[in-house]
Chain A
């Protein structure tokens, strides 16, 4: 990765934004996650919160920052340190997805639009390896980068008022999963029976930014079975 110097700016009285050039890339994601880890390790005593996204991370302090100069100076040094830091190995997860027409309302449309058979769409979606770039929009909604260009398709012009919980969508070069029923504009090509957000669990979400995700096709009966027995193991390495 080319040597980048991020912009480090305050966001209000309690937060500092570290933003790199607008490049969505896996090595930048790894770098951001490494910076996040170092920030949390180096200031364990301060209850900092860090959100990472595609090309930036936000450090949120528990109260107003008194000395921005020294915080920014420290963050610059963390970024420098992260460039030579050994990256920790991401987790790999295998998620079951049912692509049955009953739970995949846009599979037909995608297939027609992209001039691919339904089974080709499914195998292209299952062959790729994805990275969780961030979780946002809804609690537990993972933004997965790495969608095959052959499936690139814009969002719906009019978002659906109701997308079912577990729906697997594609939009642009991303794929994602709706953790709960919500309005949504992504093209829905399948459904995942694993609950992705449980506020009573800690952590509330089995997926975290940085994880590597692969999908495997399951049938409708398997979908029903897993939904009834959600303890199904999803970690595969």
Chain B
């Protein structure tokens, strides 16, 4: 199968990028893992289309692009509800749509969540760089959609097949974007170095997403006074929550660096990462401590 189809970018929107499940095997060279911010929504889109879970989707942030399809295929939108429209007619998330040449997909206002995923049959066929198709600044030639760009895909004939199981799954997914729910976290490597009072302050605090937030990380507003010393630079992961000497929390996201020198007080649960991906400036964040195991 060759990518003979393409989407034309009529308007790029705020920040849309091709994503998958990220790069593995290059962390020792400082290459970020990257990949979809909300992996759950990304995988769900692929599940609807019966793609591989790693097939590339388009991650769309808050203000969606305007896209023109040049070949027939099937698409589905998951994650945030950004009021999608096909040829100016509203369409729903979590419904597989057959598109024809010249169809236009656009988006309106954000109803819930921040990041939507546009899945396409067989996945987007952007160039593989270091084992992944997802875009990461400094690694891939492109890092976000630009006007006039083309996105390649493999055209697909109409198909009406949609598994009942997938539909049920969708109902669960739609309940998932709820910004009032606590974000699941585990204790991080330096959590034990906090005093009891500091731990309580950290875990019971209510924070807000600050203005400094992107695919690398999100700074939270709301201070946690602490007396932790900087640590010897050590490994970090997406989902690592760092505490700065001034008491600020930084949640590392998918494109984060591979090492860091601030104490790692919490580590987001996988589902917690997906929840954070659906938050934006001003949204509330509070934690729910989970326990992996008692053997430490």
Contact = CB atoms under 8 A, between A and B. Distances in A.
Contact of A68 (B231, B239, B292): B292
A13 B235 CA distance: 16
A56 B233 CA distance: 9
A60 B232 CA distance: 20
Nearest to B31: A139
Interface string A111-143: 000000000000000000000001111111101
A: contact size bracket: 35 or more
Contacts of A91: none
Interface stretch (B5-13, B68-76, B170-178, B263-271): B263-271
A10 B292 contact: yes
Interface string B35-75: 00000000000000000000000000000000000000000
Contact of A12 (B30, B186, B231): B186
Nearest to B129: A199
A51 B138 contact: no
A180 B258 CA distance: 16
What size tier do the contact residues of chain B reach?
A: 35 or more
B275 to A, nearest CB: 14
A55 B235 CA distance: 10
A109 interface: no
A53 B264 CA distance: 15
A10, A15, A139, most chain B CB atoms within 10 A: A139
A22 B29 contact: no
Contacts of A53: 232-235, 259
Interface of A is mostly: loop
B291 to A, nearest CB: 10
A22 to B, nearest CB: 5
A135 B293 contact: no
Interface in A143-195: 143, 180
Interface stretch (A79-87, A202-210, A218-226): A202-210
Contacts of A141: 30
B247 interface: no
B268 A12 contact: yes
Given A12-B239, A137-B30, A199-B140, A64 B233 contact: no
Contacts, number: 124
Contacts of A69: 293, 295
Nearest to B27: A51
Interface in B259-289: 259, 264, 267-270
A200 interface: yes
B267 A12 contact: yes
B237 interface: yes
B32 interface: yes
Nearest to B25: A49
A62 interface: yes
Interface in A1-60: 9-15, 17, 19, 22, 24, 47, 49-58, 60
A99 to B, nearest CB: 25
B28 A52 contact: yes
Nearest to A208: B28
B235 A12 contact: no
Contacts of B295: 68-69, 72
B201 interface: no
Contact of A9 (B26, B189, B257): B189
Contact of A202 (B28, B130, B189, B270): B130
Contacts of B258: 51, 135-136
A54 B258 CA distance: 13
A68 B293 contact: yes
A21 B296 CA distance: 17
Quick one: which of A12, A55, A69, A202 has the most chain B CB within 10 A? A12
Contact of A135 (B25, B28, B231, B240): B28
5 contacts: A11-B186, A17-B234, A49-B25, A56-B234, A204-B31
Interface of B: 24-32, 129-130, 138-140, 186, 188-189, 231-235, 237, 239-240, 257-259, 264, 267-270, 292-293, 295-296
Given A11-B264, A13-B292, A203-B29, 13 more contacts: A11-B186, A12-B267, A15-B237, A49-B25, A53-B233, A54-B233, A57-B235, A138-B138, A138-B257, A139-B138, A197-B29, A197-B30, A199-B31
Interface of A: 9-15, 17, 19, 22, 24, 47, 49-58, 60, 62, 64, 68-69, 72, 134-141, 143, 180, 197, 199-200, 202-205, 208-209
Top 10 A-B residue pairs of the complex, sorted by shortest distance between their CB atoms? A136-B259, A58-B235, A12-B267, A205-B29, A51-B235, A139-B30, A135-B30, A53-B234, A51-B27, A68-B293
